[in-house]
A and B are shown apart, each in its own frame.
Chain A
Amino acid sequence: MTDVMKVDDLQAITEQVWQSFLDPEGSDPLLLSLLEPSGGDVAAAISVTGAWRGHVVIGCSTAASRHAASALLGVPSDEVTEDDISDALGELANVIGGNVKALLPEPCALSLPYVVATAGVRWPAVHEICRLDGMWRDEPIHITVLESTSDYQGAAAS
């Protein structure tokens, strides 16, 4: 099932998130680009289970993750902690993932977000169905939608 999500949908969702939370003044938009595929230094993800199974993942550089936490929490970048980064990136994954879920077959359920501060995170038994690459404040950002290829049915949506 690979037609559930188009890159235009993902772009529209991502732009709304940037306009609402990361760039409300319109001065630092996410600039879409053709970057080399990369997972980034930090990954935040949320899983979807039910009628569709997979993950929505935000990967970015450490600097981008600090910028995001700074923007969301309203603290200077040099005062951002690892907890701040986990909280902010997790919420971004939650918001983007929730809006992706609304486009998927029902019923589906969202997990709570999780954040991994390790380069080159790999997701087993998935294939990529949609990807958005961009630069934000001169730092790379990648947003991917990964569909599970395993037969495991996962938790039913409640």
Chain B
Amino acid sequence: MLAMVIDDSRAMRMILRRIAVQLGFEVAEAGNGREALDFLATSEEVPSFALVDWNMPEMNGLDFVTAVRADQRLRSMTLMMVTTEGEQSQIVRALAAGAHEYVIKPFTPDAIEEKLALLGVVATGADA
């Protein structure tokens, strides 16, 4: 099972990678939305989910979400924004663009896991 972590900070990618690996996923990383789309264009496996930062150089997370939602091949991929953008208006924009969930930094690993479980991407503790 494959997951994607998309964030311009290597430190944040490392933190999110650890969470996804702990959940049993292999992880592909990208430093911005453009890099992530380039990876997805050549990847045989569509990731189960992507954890997506908002503010990144070259292509931001909102534009990445919009591009993924326009691609039928990537329809199954769950998109979770993981960002410092905490205003209600920004959350509404991301969800309207096609993000399934929204997590505001700072977060705990449990918060990410619980939201992925609610989305049915990973088993809940009771199911495991």
Contact = CB atoms under 8 A, between A and B. Distances in A.
Contact of B87 (A88, A91, A102): A102
A145 to B, nearest CB: 15
B9 A91 contact: yes
Contacts of A24: 108
Interface in B89-128: 89, 104-108
Given A20-B107, A95-B106, A87 B11 contact: yes
Interface residues of B, number: 21
A97 B14 CA distance: 20
Given A94-B55, A95-B106, A98-B83, A72 B11 contact: yes
Contacts of A95: 84, 105-106
Contacts of B73: none
Residue in B18, B55, B83, B107 with the greatest tally of chain A CB atoms within 10 Å: B55
A119 B35 CA distance: 35
A21 B15 contact: yes
B85 A106 contact: no
Interface residues of A, number: 26
A87 B83 contact: no
B45 to A, nearest CB: 26
Contacts of A112: 8, 55, 57
Contacts of A21: 15, 106
B86 interface: yes
B28 interface: no
B46 interface: no
Contacts of A84: 10-11
7 residue pairs, one from A and one from B, having the closest CB atoms: A98-B84, A20-B106, A72-B11, A91-B9, A102-B86, A88-B11, A95-B105
25 contacts: A16-B106, A17-B106, A20-B105, A21-B15, A24-B108, A74-B18, A84-B11, A87-B11, A88-B9, A88-B11, A91-B9, A91-B11, A91-B12, A94-B84, A95-B84, A95-B106, A98-B84, A98-B85, A98-B104, A99-B84, A99-B86, A106-B89, A110-B55, A112-B55, A112-B57
Interface of A: 16-17, 19-21, 24, 69, 72-74, 84, 87-88, 90-91, 94-95, 97-99, 101-102, 106-107, 110, 112
